[in-house]
Structures are given as structure tokens and as C-alpha cells.
Amino acid sequence: MSQKNGNTDNQYTFKIFRFNPDVDREPYYDTFISGFPRGTTVLEALLHIQETMDDSIAFRFSCRSAVCGSCGMLVNGAPVLACRTQLMALTGDQVLIEPLPNMDIIKDMVVDMKPFWDAYLRVEPWLHVNEEDTPEKEYLQSPDEVRKLDPYINCILCACCYGSCPVLGFEENYLGPAAIAKLFRFMSDSRDRRGAKFLEKVNSPQGLWACHTIFRCIDACPKDIRPTDTIEALRRKLVVYRFKKFFHLLKQDQK
Amino acid sequence: MISHDVLVIGAGLAGLRAAVGVSQKYDTAVLTKVHPVRSHSVAAQGGMNAALANVEGSKDDTTEKHAFDTVKGSDYLADQPAVKVMCEEAPGLVYELEHFGCPWSRLEDGRIAQRPFGGAGYPRCCYASDRTGHMALHTLYEKAVELGVRFLEEWFVLSLAVENDRIHGVVAMELATGKVEVFGAKTVVLATGGYGRIFSRSSNALINTGSGIALAYEAGVPIEDMEFVQFHPTTLYGTNILMSEGARGEGGYLVNNRGERFMEKYASSAMELAPRDIVARSIQTEINEGRGFNDEYVHLDLRHLGREKIVERLPGIREIAIDFAGIEPIDEPIPVQPGQHYSMGGIATDVKGATNVKGLFAAGECACVSVHGANRLGGNSLLDTTVFGKLAGEAVKEYLDSGAESPDAKILHSAFKRQEKSIQEIFSRESKGETPGGILTEMRETVFHKCGVFREKNTLEEAYSKIRELQERYCKVAIQNITTRRYNPGLMNVLELKGMLEMAELIVAGAIAREECRGAHWRTDFPVRDDKNWLKHTMAVCSQDGPVFRYTDVEITDYEPKERQY
């Protein structure tokens, strides 16, 4: 951390969620007060608190530059990447740190992301191709075709959207925003051959139809991805597919 | 006892590519300290070199020219047969990633786009905007989950079980529970990345502690060329987050406080696209001689590229400059300074990733083949990870095909007992003792300032005694708040610091011994390259009294060493 000199520091009061299931019957909050210079991020502050005041506070981190997706947590109630959130940008000098909701707690801010990754796997998040069509060199793809993917390939799988989604609060088997946006990314790829019939796999109350379009995921996304838009687009695509299928309008390879 | 044919340690690009290659044939598990997509490969920006000859201006590019640029960039310390293999494999690996779904940036005709990069004679660098590492890592992870590769996430490897020069498995700790477990394995592939975080200024992720190199070192594997540390010329002032070489590849200028494009003085023809060692020294010289800003940084100026190009080609570094420095590169120059970026050295391997221990392989940044020699070219590290990840996977298959012996349960059990005892001992220390934080900070400042861009005997020796002192203090270092083993960062910090100090020792001791200037190793007291005495690789082997050094010949097959000019 770039701790420069004491007199330019602002004092912050951190209230940090604590829960170690081995010893605690229920969660509680610890308070730490410390000064930090301008430009300090929430992650840097947490690392400083961990290093100098309590080395048992658990949270995930890696890149500290908002590309790895490790440090999603609630800061003053908002799901954010701690590394990308400046203390200066918060309102006031009270900083409330809590884990992302909708997942079980391993310890403190470290949550069990298994349901998030399980949902990710359910959309078969890989390029579906026909092996025999694979060219010797590259598949040709125009800059415009790549541009269509741009808004979605930036997803860092941080689960901020997953933690923000109210539906996941009561429907724990819901795919969630990130997995559906990932499916949309592949279905928008000119190289992907899965076709609209794949949507039957997510045509369920826990799949495409669970979203109540509350748009929290859009607010939460640190990469400005709009998962709700992808959910609505895939719903439309599914309806068109069903309509064509019902009226026998599908070509042989689309069935 | 859990046992696998193959254990891959680390799930960045090298580890994933190795696992993708072997998992269909042999029982494979990947042990990784962080979830695969959190690996540091994700932060690579600029691109991956391959002589595809796709763009105007690269029509007569060839793999031989790529190899020559790499050897010249390495200041002739790279092993030329290995470089040749890497460059020949390059186009195939770029196409393979494309077939797996990597969203490479494209030319109008639909082929993969390429841009100029430092030290390269042609626009050879394939890229996915300036988020190439992110795109490549997610793509390979997607391929791995398609193939059903088994991942054990958030496991930290404590030691390798090696006996009579053969691997038997590893001892590892599950972070979520703190449970220590032993994994038997016929083969182990180390793909744990670099050690950037032993330097105070580093572009690396906070997880890059060099732990895999330390594991190999402690197991008796020679560690090669550790004094060669790459300082990236352009890391963001303040946080040292990487500002891609792609920014200069797209035409960005480096400017001092007099408004001069100072690279003209140091590399009049390549200018900003000289290799990284040269650009880093040039920037540091400008700063040292008072032509920097606030004696700390110079400017990376992109303004003349215009909004459209910046938004289209460099969106990632624009976002970082805005988020982490409050600077909009469309309107303002970016403050940059050199920072540690890459480890040219590492675990000594042959061209297939094999070490001197039977069944133990290494690939990616933790390994030293050596293809980067004394200075790596930009765009060659993503290439290294995928090429040598693939080749290590193939070597593992060959090794297993020839009927490898099963691991010995007794050896594994005693390895387990040693680690379990050592953790119990750490927990039993007085919690009032010194914590890792102070030692870590002193080590980082020492290594960066005394073994950095410019080096000389006196300060290197000061650094060495400091590290020995820190190693003494380390023996009593304690966890501050002893709770349970469950996800215990205090324990992790204690465990990782040991290897970090070992890495620091190897780097500094290697730098003291090497009395010449070559690539990134620049001795102001020995200001010339000395091929007569020093055209050789450093090999450090662990002993009771610290590292023992010996030296081996460089494989020179095609290009005789010449003076480097750019």
C-alpha cells in the first residue's frame, strides 16, 4: 500500500463481518479504526488491517487491478470489487464490510462459490463446434462479429451479480445472471454451433424464467455488462424457436 | 491415500494447457491456490507472438525471424534449440486457442489481427484488445471444464515428496479447512508462476510469491538464471499496475519533463519499441538524472492516438488508468515507472519441461527452459505458457506410457508428518513474536532498491546480508491472532514468506556473482557484456549453508552472439 505520511490521512472506521463456523455460533462485527491516505482502495485498507491489527480476517484477493474477480464483497451494502473501490469514493468515514449474499460462508468474507460455478457449468460454457468443420488455420470472424461479443467477454466471474440478485435469495437453483450472460456470449459467437434448440436446456422456472427483471445485476457489474438484457434476449430467442418448432418451420439442422 | 497419475500444480495458462493435454488419457488432478480464473495469466494484456504473417507489413515474417528476435532480445543467453521449438509451435497454439473460442481481435478479412511489439522485426503480436491474458485464460478454462478436468481449488502445496531423484507426490493444505493432506502421484507438473511479490514495485498479482520455484529448490532441483528479473518499463505510478507494451505498440510515446521523446537517445531506430530491458533502463536514467516528474515517473502519452483507437484497442489500460490513477488517457498522459514484471529464471527444465527429478516437470513462468535468456520479449510469455504447458503434457504422457512406478506410501507418509509437525510448531509459537508483515516489507524494499534496474556490488552485498538477517528473524515469526486453521491468512503469510526469502536470496546471490551486464541484469560496476566469462547459465542448488552455484553452457546453434542494437 502507498502509505505516504500520516498527516494527510483520513480516519476511517471499518466495521467488518466476522464468522468462523468452527468457533462462532453466529456472525458478529469487529471494528477497526485507522488512517489511510488519498488513493487507498478498500482492498489495500483491508490488507493493512489484516497485516497490522488482525491477521485472521479472511477475504479473497489476487490481481488488485479488477481483472481476476476474487474480491467481490459488500461494501456499505453494495456488491463491489474491493480492489476497485476507493475509500474516498464512499460516503462518509464509516466502512461496512460484509460477504456477498446468496452463498454460504466459509469464513468472514470468503463464501462458498460452488453454486455459482455449478450454474456456470449448466450452460456448457465452451465453444460448441463440429470437429470436422475445424479449419486448419483460424475460423474467419469479422471485427463486427467480435464487437458483438465485446460487452460479454469482459465478464470476470466475480459473482457480484450473483450476490446482488434478489431471486437467488429464495430460488437457490436459479442459474443467476452471470451464467446466462455467459450463455448469451457463446450463442452470439459466429463460430458457435449450438443453435437455439440449446435453450430448451435452460427453459425452466430455475433457468431463463426465474428473473424478475429487477436489474440489480446491471448495477452490480463492475465491468458494465447488462445480464438482464441477455436474459430477455434469450427468452425472445426461445419463444421464436418454440413458435417455429410448433409450426414446423425449423430447418433440419435447427431441430 | 489419494493418488493420481498426474498432479498439475497451478491453473494459469501453463497448468491448464498441460492438464487439457493429459486429462483424457491419464487420471489427472489440478491443485491450485486460487480458482483457475484468478490466476495471474488473467492480467496479461498485450498479446501472444506468432509468425502468422497475417497483416500488411508482416508478409515475409517467419518462425526463424521470430526465433532470431527472441535470441537477440535475450542478449544471447537463451538456448537456441528451445527458442526454435517455441517459435515453430507458436502459430499452432494461437490457432488452437482460436478453435477453443478465444475472441482474438480480427482484421477486416476475418483473420487474426497482429500488432507491433518491442524487439520484434515485424507486427507479430496476436491480441484480444488489451485483455489477451483474460481471454486466453477464460478460453482454456472453458476447454478444461468441457473436458471434465478435475480441479482442487484453494489448495496450497507445502512440499514435494522426492526421494532418490524421483517424485512420489505432494503434501498440500486445503485453505478452507486448514487440513493437511498427502497426494500420491506418478508425475507432478509445476505451473505456479513467478515471484513478483518479493519486490516492492511489481506489476504482479498479490498471489505471485514464487512458491512453486521454492518447492522445487527445496526438493533439490537446480534453479536457473534467477538474477535475470524483468522490469517492465511502464507500470502505473502509485500501484505499479501494468500499462501494456501494446500502448507503445499502437504508437504511444514516452516523454520526459522537457517534453522530449527521450528514447531517441537510447534506441534511435526502435524508439519506444526497443526491448523492455533497454526501455526500462532509459526511463530510470531519465528519472535519475532529473528529467522525470517528481523524481518518480515519466509520461506515457497516448493522446495523439485519438479517442477511437484508445477505446477500441486499449480499453483495459484506459479503465485501469481511470480507476486507479484518476487519469483519462484520452485527455492526459499516464504517469509510468519501471516495476518488476517477470522472472526469466526459474526451475531448470529441458525443452519438454522435464527436471532432474524423474516424474517432475515444470512449465510457464516458474520454469526456465531457457527461451527468454537475460530478457524476455513482450508477447513471448503467453506463448511460453501454452507451448511449454502443451509440451510438458506430452512429456508426461510419454513418461507414463513407458510404465512409471507407483508412488511409495512410506515416503509420502513421512513427508506428510514433517509438514503437519511444522504447522503445529508454527501454531505453538508465542503470538507476541514478530509477524510476517515487517519482514515482508523490508525484503521487498531491499530487493527492489538494491537489486533492481541498476545494480552494483556494494548495495547487492548489503541486500544479501539483509536477506540473511531476515531469514534469521523468520525462524521465530508468529501468527498474531491464533484462531483455527480454517482459511487462516496469518498462517498462509508465514508459510509463503519462507519461499519468498529463498527466492530473494537466489536472485541477489546470483546478481553478486555475475560480474557483467546482460539483458535485464545491469551492473554499473561491470558495464559491458562479457561473453568470454559469462555466456553461461547460472544453476543454484540448495544446500545446508544456502545456495551453491555452478554454471552451464548456453546452447548456441544458429545465431552467434553480437552486440545488440535497436
Average pLDDT over residues B492-504: 97
pLDDT value at position B1? 82
Do residues A160 and A73 both lie within one domain? no
A191·B319 Cβ contact <8 A: no
Do residues A87 and A134 both lie within one domain? no
Do residues A224 and A189 both lie within one domain? yes
The CATH number for A128's domain is 1.10.1060.10
What's the mean per-residue pLDDT of chain A?
94
A189·B101 Cβ contact <8 A: yes
Range of the domain at A98: 3-106
**B520 in A contact zone (CB under 8 Å):** no
Rounded Cα distance between B292 and A50, Å, is 35
Per-residue pLDDT of chain A (255 residues; tens, 9 = 90+): 344 444 468 999 999 999 999 999 999 999 999 999 988 999 999 999 999 999 999 999 999 999 999 999 999 999 999 999 999 999 999 999 999 999 999 999 999 999 999 999 999 999 999 988 899 999 999 999 999 999 999 999 999 999 999 999 999 999 999 999 999 999 999 999 999 999 999 999 999 999 999 999 999 999 999 999 999 999 999 999 999 999 888 887 777
Does pTM top 0.80 for this prediction?
yes
Of A54, A82, A106, the last residue of a domain is: A106
Contacts of B353 (CB under 8 A, 6+ apart): B18, B189, B361, B362, B363, B367, B369, B388, B391, B392, B395
Do residues A18 and A95 both lie within one domain? yes
Active site residues per annotation of B: 276
Do residues A91 and A131 both lie within one domain? no
What percentage of chain B carries pLDDT values higher than 90?
96
pLDDT value at position B433? 81
In chain B, which among 7-66 make CB contacts under 8 A with chain A? 34-35, 37-40, 42-43
User: What are the two backbone dihedrals, phi and then psi, of residue B64, each rounded to the nearest 5 degrees?
Assistant: -65, -40
- The pLDDT tens digits of the residues spanning B403-434 come to 999 999 999 999 999 999 999 999 988 777 89
Contacts of B65 (CB under 8 A, 6+ apart): B51, B121, B122
**B490 in A contact zone (CB under 8 Å):** yes
3-state DSSP assignment of residue B382: helix
User: What are the two backbone dihedrals, phi and then psi, of residue B235, each rounded to the nearest 5 degrees?
Assistant: -110, 150
What is the DSSP secondary structure assignment for residue B146, as one 8-state letter?
Answer: H
Q: Taking the CA atoms of B252, B255, B259 and B261 in sequence, report the sign of the dihedral they define.
A: negative
Do residues A242 and A186 both lie within one domain? yes
Do residues A180 and A206 both lie within one domain? yes
- The pLDDT tens digits of the residues spanning A136-181 come to 999 999 999 999 999 999 999 999 999 999 999 999 999 999 999 9
Specify whether the CB–CB gap between B80 and B68 falls below 8 A: no
A66·B95 Cβ contact <8 A: no
Peptide bond into B202 cis (omega under 30): no
Do residues A126 and A212 both lie within one domain? yes
Rounded Cα distance between B367 and B376, Å, is 13
Rounded Cα distance between B331 and B303, Å, is 6
In chain A, which among 41-80 make CB contacts under 8 A with chain B? 41, 47, 50-52, 54-58, 60-70
Specify whether the CB–CB gap between B146 and B20 falls below 8 A: no
Cα of B371 vs its chain's centroid, Å: 13
pLDDT value at position A8? 67
Of A48, A82, A106, the last residue of a domain is: A106
Residues of chain B contacting residue A186, judged by C-beta atoms under 8 Å apart: 101
Q: What are the start-end ranges of the H helices in B23-79? A: 63-73
Do residues A89 and A120 both lie within one domain? no
Task: Give strand ranges (E) for A85-164.
Answer: 94-98, 105-107, 110-111
What is the DSSP secondary structure assignment for residue B343, as one 8-state letter?
Answer: E
At position A193, the amino acid (one-letter code) is: R
Banded model confidence at residue B535, pLDDT cuts 50, 70, 90: very high
Q: How many domains does one find in chain A?
A: 2
pLDDT at B371 exceeding the cut of 70? yes
Rounded Cα distance between B442 and B436, Å, is 10
B486·A22 Cβ contact <8 A: yes
3-state percent helix, strand, coil for chain B, nearest multiple of 5 = 40, 20, 40
User: What are the two backbone dihedrals, phi and then psi, of residue B272, each rounded to the nearest 5 degrees?
Assistant: -65, -15
The helix (run of H) or strand (run of E) holding residue B338 is strand B334-343
The helix (run of H) or strand (run of E) holding residue A81 is strand A78-81
3-state DSSP assignment of residue B300: strand
Residues of chain A contacting residue B98, judged by C-beta atoms under 8 Å apart: 138-139
Cell of B241: 499496475
Average pLDDT over residues B178-189: 97
* Paired sense of beta strands A10-18 and A28-36, if any: antiparallel
Do residues A38 and A87 both lie within one domain? yes
Over its C-alpha atoms, chain A yields an Rg (Å, rounded) of: 22
Alpha carbon of B76 to those of A121, B281, B566: distances in Å?
46, 19, 15
Do residues A83 and A152 both lie within one domain? no
pLDDT value at position B430? 76
Rounded Cα distance between A204 and A189, Å, is 24
A62·B207 Cβ contact <8 A: yes
Residue B453 has, within 13 A of its CA and on its CB side, a CA count of: 24
Distance from CA of B65 to the nearest CA of A (A): 20
pLDDT value at position B257? 97
Do residues A128 and A149 both lie within one domain? yes
What length is written for chain A? Answer: 255
- The pLDDT tens digits of the residues spanning B90-143 come to 999 999 999 999 999 999 999 999 999 999 999 999 999 999 999 999 999 999
Cα of A94 vs its chain's centroid, Å: 25
The CATH number for A72's domain is 3.10.20.30
pLDDT at B265 exceeding the cut of 50? yes
Cell of B301: 502519452
- The pLDDT tens digits of the residues spanning B442-453 come to 999 999 999 999
Of A60, A78, A106, the last residue of a domain is: A106
What are B190's strand-pairing partners?
A: B9, B362
What percentage of chain B carries pLDDT values higher than 70?
100
